[in-house]
Structure 1
Amino acid sequence: MLNSLTLPAPAKLNLFLHILGRRDNGYHDLQTLFQFLDYADELSFSLRQDGVIKLHDNVAGVAHDDNLIVKAAKALQAHSHTSLGADITLSKRLPMGGGIGGGSSNAATTLLGLNALWQTRCDEDQLAALGLALGADVPVFVRGHAAFAEGVGERLSPVTLAEPWFVVAVPQVHVSTKEIFCDERLTRNTPAITLAAAQTLGGHNDCQPVVEQRYEEVRNALMQLDKFASAKLTGTGACCFASFASQAEADKVSRLLQPDLHTFVAKGSNVSMLHRTLQTLHQK
């Protein structure tokens, strides 16, 4: 039995995000295209025999038991009826409120990591269902493959996309998903498209105009990136991205942006770093 495990919790991009309508329960029907980035938080798990779940790294403004990492661990613990616990440490790189999936990715890595550490033998469908109860984006991280998502984001169709290099700009603001989806200026009537159209024609982000109006920092970041390539917002968050054919080109553009705009360069990936790492561990 493993006593410890360290795994990445990778970022994602929403290559587009269409809002089709709003349900009576307040949730939104959407279509989006997810792709992963080779850029990640890192989570380390150590086995405990006493059943205690302890996250040793506080996230500012988030109580210990409200952290999605702790919620995911406790959800798997309850589902599997295990008596084991874990000490968990988090090395944070992904910005909160950035729209690149930090909290959801952390939750998915926790589910997959503790499933391996505790040997609970849950399959991917079970883990995805546990993840969906924590957040609409968690299942795509559990499954670990680029996907076309529908419904509230839970209906996933795996896709194979080009894997370009991305420049991701990180304006220093926290964008609340709830606030964006509650904004009356958000359009909620984009017509549904097919999977084939999503892969060939792409789309836009219905949340982008609202976020730009609410956050000057995001608007400025998009304007800077747009000078070099078509820039888009990812998800409902602050981060903006543009794609490039090579790392050299992406690095060059990153250096040309204003120095007060934080950026990183990362390669797009159809299979997440988390799943590639787990596959390597299983082969040992």
Structure 2
Amino acid sequence: MNKLTLTAPAKLNLFLHINGRRSDGYHELETLFTLLDFGDELSFELTTEQEITLCGDTANIPTEDNLIYRAAKLLTPHKKSAHGVIIHIKKNLPMGGGVGGGSSDAATTLLALNKLWQCNLTIQELATLGLSLGADVPVFIEGKTALAQGVGEHLTPIEIAQKWYLVVAPNVHVSTAAIFTHPDLPRDTAKLESGWQLKNTRNDCQTLVKKLYPEVENTLSWLLKYAPSKMTGTGACCFAEFENREAALRVLEKLPSSWQGFVARNTSVSVCHQQLNTWQM
């Protein structure tokens, strides 16, 4: 088969602690990533040409700047195949929402082309390549719920209960760079000790983002009427946890028209990896 279609899953940060700032400007952090069974859809079709062609919902981002294209270019020195590829993307995740859309797309591209181009790189080798594209890329390549430390590259797989989540994207774009460089961002949360519990964690970015972006605070307050609410990453997406799909869908039906939302559940192994495991070349 010369064609492969994969889901690039969304992620949630169930908490995000910032432990300090390094001399290189990056932050030491601890966060719990979980992957959802909903995401962008990427299709890869081999061609007899050498070119990498990207089409679909590209949001008019210049091709050379698109993380999908950059991921494909990263793999070209490792190709064992003479084929080029046409990559089509269908965007289902909000851009700049903190659910990992761009990073997930990049990771999915690396995983797909590693198969199609017969690169035969290990997951760890792909994760190392992916880190150069973004701190969140390795967790999507690993494809498991994980505690991330360092700048996000040190991953420890963790088993957590499966839940249903309502994820809401308010009509606002939050700049990750602006949040991480803001002088009011807390940077002194103590590192986790053994025996830590999720109920004792928080998102260190949330108070600052609520202050700078009132629409995020409005979203969190609206969700709080139905279930405890949190912000993922640096926002703008917020989420609430439910025991079943029906309860989450009932709240989604009440969502203000100016916001977008979706319901999904977390998975122990990402849907992208599940699809790859059943695909045959």
Q: TM-score range by the shorter chain?
A: over 0.9
2:170/2:258 contact within 8 Å kept? no
How many residue pairs end up in the alignment? 281
Aligned to 1:256: 254
Which of 257, 272, 281 pairs up with 1:274? Answer: 272
TM-superposed CA distance for 1:156, in Å, is: 0.2
2:135/2:152 contact within 8 Å kept? yes
State the SS of the aligned residue for 2:266.
strand
Aligned to 1:5: 4
Aligned to 1:124: 123
Counterparts of 1:1-284 in structure 2 under 5 Å? 2-57=1-56, 59-80=58-79, 83-194=82-193, 196-198=195-197, 200-282=198-280
Q: Residues 261 and 214 from structure 1, CA distance in 2 versus in 1: closer, same or farther, beyond 3 angstroms?
A: same
1:171/1:238 contact within 8 Å kept? yes
2:168/2:262 contact within 8 Å kept? yes
TM-superposed CA distance for 1:201, in Å, is: 3.8
Distance across 1 between alignment mates of 2:80 and 2:70: 15
Structure 2 counterpart of 1:220, one-letter code: N
1:15/1:202 contact within 8 Å kept? no
Distance across 1 between alignment mates of 2:60 and 2:245: 35
Distance across 1 between alignment mates of 2:80 and 2:5: 23
TM-score between the two structures when normalised by the length of structure 2: 0.95
Distance across 2 between alignment mates of 1:152 and 1:59: 28
Structure 2 counterpart of 1:72, one-letter code: A
Distance across 1 between alignment mates of 2:71 and 2:264: 27
Q: Residues 115 and 202 from structure 1, CA distance in 2 versus in 1: closer, same or farther, beyond 3 angstroms?
A: farther
- 1:81-120 Cα offsets, whole Å, 9 max, x none, are 7543211100000111000000000001000001111111
TM-superposed CA distance for 1:237, in Å, is: 2.2
Distance across 2 between alignment mates of 1:201 and 1:232: 12
State the SS of the aligned residue for 2:172.
coil
Distance across 2 between alignment mates of 1:52 and 1:258: 43
TM-superposed CA distance for 1:80, in Å, is: 4.0
2:53/2:87 contact within 8 Å kept? yes
Deviates more, 1:79-88 or 1:45-54: 79-88
Structure 1 counterpart of 2:106, one-letter code: A
Deviates more, 1:77-86 or 1:44-53: 77-86
TM-superposed CA distance for 1:76, in Å, is: 0.8
Structure 2 counterpart of 1:265, one-letter code: V
- 1:43-90 Cα offsets, whole Å, 9 max, x none, are 011112332111013523521110000000000112447543211100
Distance across 1 between alignment mates of 2:232 and 2:29: 14
State the SS of the aligned residue for 1:256.
coil
Distance across 2 between alignment mates of 1:130 and 1:239: 27
RMSD over aligned CA atoms reads 1.6
Distance across 2 between alignment mates of 1:81 and 1:119: 5
State the SS of the aligned residue for 2:204.
coil
State the SS of the aligned residue for 2:278.
helix
Distance across 2 between alignment mates of 1:215 and 1:173: 8
* Runs of at least 5 residues in structure 1 that lack an aligned partner in the other structure: none
Aligned-residue sequence identity (percent) comes to 50
TM-superposed CA distance for 1:269, in Å, is: 1.4
Structure 1 counterpart of 2:216, one-letter code: V
Q: Residues 174 and 140 from structure 1, CA distance in 2 versus in 1: closer, same or farther, beyond 3 angstroms?
A: same
- 1:98-153 Cα offsets, whole Å, 9 max, x none, are 00000000001000001111111111011111101110000000010000000000
TM-score between the two structures when normalised by the length of structure 1: 0.94
* Runs of at least 5 residues in structure 2 that lack an aligned partner in the other structure: none
TM-superposed CA distance for 1:202, in Å, is: 4.8
